[in-house]
Amino acid sequence: MSKALRQGLQTLEMLAEAPCSAADVARSLSVDRSTGWRILQVLSEHGWVRQDLETKVFSLNVTHLYALAGNGHEHLALPSLIIPTLERIRGQLGEAAILGVPSGSSMVYLVYVPSQHAVGVREAVGSVRPLHASALGKAYLSALDPAELESTLNTLDFQGGTERAVRSISDLRQVVIAAREMGYAVDLEESFPGVICVGIPAHIGHDRLLIGAIAVSGPRERLLALGVERIAQALKEELAQLDQSFA
C-alpha cells in the first residue's frame, strides 16, 4: 500500500471518530501541517469529506459514503428514502428531525431536516454526537443484541457531552436497558445545555436491518411542551409507514 493511500485511509478513520482540523491530522500522522491540509483537500475534492466554513474543521461526508454503498445494497439508498419520513415528522412537531448512523463511538447525522421555528439548534448533515450522551446513540444501542451491546460498550471512551452524560459502562448499560423497555431514548441536555432529543432505533426492510436511529431535537422548553412520549409515538408511527414502502 502506498504511503499516500495509507495516510488518506488513516485520515478517514480519524474523521469517523470526530471532526478534525488540518493540525489534528498532521499531529496524528506525524507530518507537517501543510501535508495534513493537502490530504484533507484531496479527500474533499473527491467528495469524501466536507469542511465547515465557520469552524474550519473537516468531517466525513456521510451522504457520499452511503451513496456509494447504496450501489451494492438497496437499503443503503437511505437519504432519498428517509427524507419524506423526517419531513412528515417535522411537519407534525415543528422541530428538527434527524437520521443518525453509527460510526465508531459516535452517531453521525446522515439526514437532517431543520426546525420550522426561527430559533432552533444549529446542526447539519455530518454533525457528530457521542453514543453515550445522545438520544440517537442510546436508541441505537438499545436495539443491539446482548453480545453486540457489550462489545460496543467496551470500545467507548465516554468523551464528549455535558456533565449530565453518563461516564461509565455500568451506568450506560442501565440507561440502554431502560430505553429498550420504553421503546425510545432521551437526551436531557446531555449533549448540549438547553437541548433535548428523543430518538428510536431505525430498522428497515423485510430483514429488519438496523441502520441507526431517528430522532427529534430542539430547545428544552419546546420539546417538554410537546411531550416526550408524544414525540416518541410520532417517530414510531412514521417509521412504520416507511416500512410499508418495502412491502
Three-state secondary structure readout of 75-95: HHCHHHHHHHHHHHHHHHHCC
Q: Are residues 94 and 215 in the same domain?
A: yes
**Does position 68 have pLDDT exceeding 60, yes or no?**
no
99 within domain boundaries: yes
67 within domain boundaries: no
Q: How many domains does the chain have?
A: 2
**Does position 70 have pLDDT exceeding 60, yes or no?**
no
CATH number at residue 35: 1.10.10.10
Q: What is the spatial distance between Cα 207 and Cα 85, in angstroms, rounded to a whole number?
A: 20
pLDDT for 78 equals: 65
Query: Which of 122, 188, 199 minimizes the C-alpha distance to 161?
Result: 188
151 within domain boundaries: yes
Provide the total of helices (H) and of strands (E) in the chain, helices listed first. 10, 8
13 within domain boundaries: yes
Q: What is the spatial distance between Cα 64 and Cα 86, in angstroms, rounded to a whole number?
A: 19
65 within domain boundaries: no
User: What average pLDDT does range 145-174 have in this prediction?
Assistant: 93
**Does position 7 have pLDDT exceeding 90, yes or no?**
no
Q: Are residues 51 and 78 in the same domain?
A: no
Q: Are residues 42 and 79 in the same domain?
A: no
Q: Are residues 44 and 81 in the same domain?
A: no
Residue 8: which pLDDT band, with cuts at 50, 70 and 90? confident
Q: Are residues 47 and 79 in the same domain?
A: no
List the single range of 2-6, 90-94, 213-217, 229-233 with lowest mean pLDDT.
Answer: 2-6
Q: Considering 15, 35, 60, which residue would you say is the last residue of a domain? A: 60
**Does position 192 have pLDDT exceeding 70, yes or no?**
yes
Helix (H) or strand (E) holding 169: helix 169-182
Q: Are residues 56 and 77 in the same domain?
A: no
pLDDT for 72 equals: 47
24 within domain boundaries: yes
**Cα torsion for 73, 86, 12, 2, to the nearest 10°?**
30
Q: Are residues 212 and 124 in the same domain?
A: yes
Portion of the chain with pLDDT greater than 70, in percent? 89
Query: Which of 111, 118, 120 minimizes the C-alpha distance to 86?
Result: 111
Identify which has the larger pLDDT, 104 or 231. 231
Contacts of range 77-80, beta carbons closer than 8 Å, 24 or more positions apart = 78/110, 78/111, 78/211, 79/110, 79/111
**How many beta carbons lie within 10 A of that of residue 162, not counting itself?**
15
Q: Are residues 55 and 95 in the same domain?
A: no
pLDDT for 123 equals: 80
Identify which has the larger pLDDT, 128 or 244. 128
Q: Are residues 114 and 230 in the same domain?
A: yes
CATH number at residue 79: 3.30.450.40
* pTM reported for the whole predicted model: 0.73
Q: Are residues 22 and 77 in the same domain?
A: no
Question: What is the residue type of 238?
Answer: E
Greatest mean pLDDT range, 16-30, 43-57, 87-101, 197-211: 87-101
**Does position 12 have pLDDT exceeding 90, yes or no?**
no
Q: Are residues 79 and 175 in the same domain?
A: yes
Residue 80: which pLDDT band, with cuts at 50, 70 and 90? confident
Query: Residue 171 is part of which domain span?
Result: 72-244
90 within domain boundaries: yes
Q: Are residues 115 and 197 in the same domain?
A: yes
92 within domain boundaries: yes
